[in-house]
Structure 1
């Protein structure tokens, strides 16, 4: 009898553990900005909600949009009105901003729209908007709060500014300002708008590794990261203010490289440090170990996110070169004079890139100059 109960219980636990998890994801699809008057702007955004579970339905139980405006001035004279609308095929949208709980059948999707009306003085000082869309996943498993993020550049940037050229011997370079880049951008369009008017044959375009990752969408909010025991323990052994000194930054690395690789790298790195051999952990823990920028690591509003290094940088530079014809390098540079070329096309001379970027002309703060144009005289 006891053996039968244990067998039945084990079978039930196995069955429960093999059930596909609730997988509801709400993601931004598109957005438009209309400047109706200098004192009245309208932003329309569209999101899609997908049930990725192939067997079970899930409920999108609640949706709450939250807006953050980033400006070069004050927000006191700016007023915002947010309208939330469903875009279901079988139900008309409500007009009172209330989200009526909606069931998504297996492997199905539905839509929703957020409209933002901005009015008042000071709209021209706005730099960007960060729209957070909180939503509730409700199904077989635990009721879960999730958040989708949409970052919107609102600043109009002159595509033909006077560049701040710097020169050393026979090499010149200039940081190129752009609008706030987002995952909706494409590098050929960015290069066509901001770089081609200044470029000459033979120039090198050096792209910040952070900007490359942002355009790929390779960043995550800390609420999307679930620190485990390993991350909560090992983070105390990393120097303060480094990207792995928070359990969220370290857990992001663990998610990328795997817990056993990170633990092994920590063990070997600790032994190497006793022998005064630096950098062993970063060499063993995976390519993201030295590239992850934790919260505060880049310009607002990305300072609230963990930004990883770009995925497949070698493939990315080849794609950009094929589409634009320019020599491309993706580079990690800092204010300490360290320059690391993650990937470059065949015509890039690494010594020239390192010389031009040694003083980090693009900056590590809110300069919004993700690209440096390099020219050999």
Structure 2
């Protein structure tokens, strides 16, 4: 009798897992911007680029009945006087674009891809100097995926920087230690980062002429994740009963306290792992042992930032933690010849070192970053050089 009960339980669990995967399956399409170029003229800026849409699934074919581009200018002044024109030209391998600019529904077959060319034109004929004050442009893709998973409205976006910081001199701060030595921190202002930036080249371009032997170059975990494309809009998530239920067990300020934040974690590690971590974590919490859930649920449980957790235009996105942080630190360290670390710092004095190259003095690094020299607002200083005296 006991064996029969165990067997029935196993069958029920298998059916549950299989049905959950089937009912929560989303579109397999992957959208990625490629080959973007900016041409600045006297009274206009022309931006040309390509969107690549891939279907890695071995069986499913996905239709795209709608595809729209909504570009938004970002800057430090009113932008109503700028004229912005957008042109979309499909570059499908098996279908010619229509001359009337109508988007004709297209099927992306399994194990294939298609390209879409985008042309943006910004004008301000009355005062061409105002073009120099544009910070960046946020390109938002609103498109429909249609297939066996249903009809999904997806929203993807990325930043195209238009200008570099006018003042590139780092913001220096000095910290006195108990042993009378000092640490200098240099917070470096960058352009608005995005998926078009190469994380390796970015660090090199902004720090190679500033670093000295013995320095530690740090970068925030959120900016690194954004450059890796580790973000998505909440509307792109297919919410489940479990995400709506499990999120109520978390503190309101937690990024897992919303259905979308919780669904993001479930999509990363699986619903069974989240349930198990929450169950065991609750038991230990009764015993006044905190943090067990996050250790069992994995690193991403701590690193997910829900909306409003980052600076615009990513404040409307859910940002996950970066991938391969350790390998990244080692690669950049070899390139620059100094130590490198990926960190998570806030204004409450909490410093977490997600990864670092070999030989980093973690206690010194945490002391130096305790005051959060990079800031948590719109300082746009994701890179901090820590320099022991």
The one of 47, 54, 66 aligned to 1:50: 54
Q: Report the equivalent of 1:192.
A: 204
Q: Report the equivalent of 1:298.
A: 310
Taking structure 2 as the reference length, the TM-score comes to: 0.85
- Residue 262 of structure 1 deviates from its aligned partner by 1.6
CA deviation map 1:85-125 (0-9, x unaligned)? 11134544334332122334443322211111111254333
Equivalent runs, 1:1-377 vs 2, <5 Å: 23-37=28-42, 39-55=43-59, 57-120=61-124, 121=127, 122-139=130-147, 142-158=150-166, 160-168=168-176, 169-377=181-389
Report the CA distance shift for 1:275/1:112 in structure 2 as closer, same or farther (over 3 A): same
Q: In 1, Cα distance between the equivalents of 2:373 and 2:143? A: 41
- Residue 141 of structure 1 deviates from its aligned partner by 5.4
RMSD over aligned Cα atoms: 2.4
- Residue 210 of structure 1 deviates from its aligned partner by 0.9
Q: Report the equivalent of 1:8.
A: none
User: Structure 1 stretch 232-241 or stretch 101-110: which is displaced more?
Assistant: 101-110
- Residue 237 of structure 1 deviates from its aligned partner by 2.2
- Residue 351 of structure 1 deviates from its aligned partner by 1.2
- Residue 31 of structure 1 deviates from its aligned partner by 1.3
CA deviation map 1:104-149 (0-9, x unaligned)? 4443322211111111254333222221222233445533333332
Q: In 1, Cα distance between the equivalents of 2:171 and 2:350? A: 24
Q: Is the 8 A contact 1:28 1:148 kept in 2?
A: no
Q: Which SS does the other structure have where 2:39 is aligned?
A: strand
Taking structure 1 as the reference length, the TM-score comes to: 0.87
Report the CA distance shift for 1:346/1:133 in structure 2 as closer, same or farther (over 3 A): same
Q: Which runs of 5+ in 2 are unaligned?
A: 1-18
User: Structure 1 stretch 276-285 or stretch 345-354: which is displaced more?
Assistant: 276-285
- Residue 345 of structure 1 deviates from its aligned partner by 1.1
Q: In 2, Cα distance between the equivalents of 1:137 and 1:189? A: 34
Q: Which SS does the other structure have where 2:65 is aligned?
A: strand
Task: Give the total of aligned pairs.
Answer: 360
Q: Report the equivalent of 2:7.
A: none
Q: Which SS does the other structure have where 2:66 is aligned?
A: strand
Q: Which runs of 5+ in 1 are unaligned?
A: 1-13
Q: Which SS does the other structure have where 1:161 is aligned?
A: coil
Q: In 2, Cα distance between the equivalents of 1:254 and 1:106? A: 26
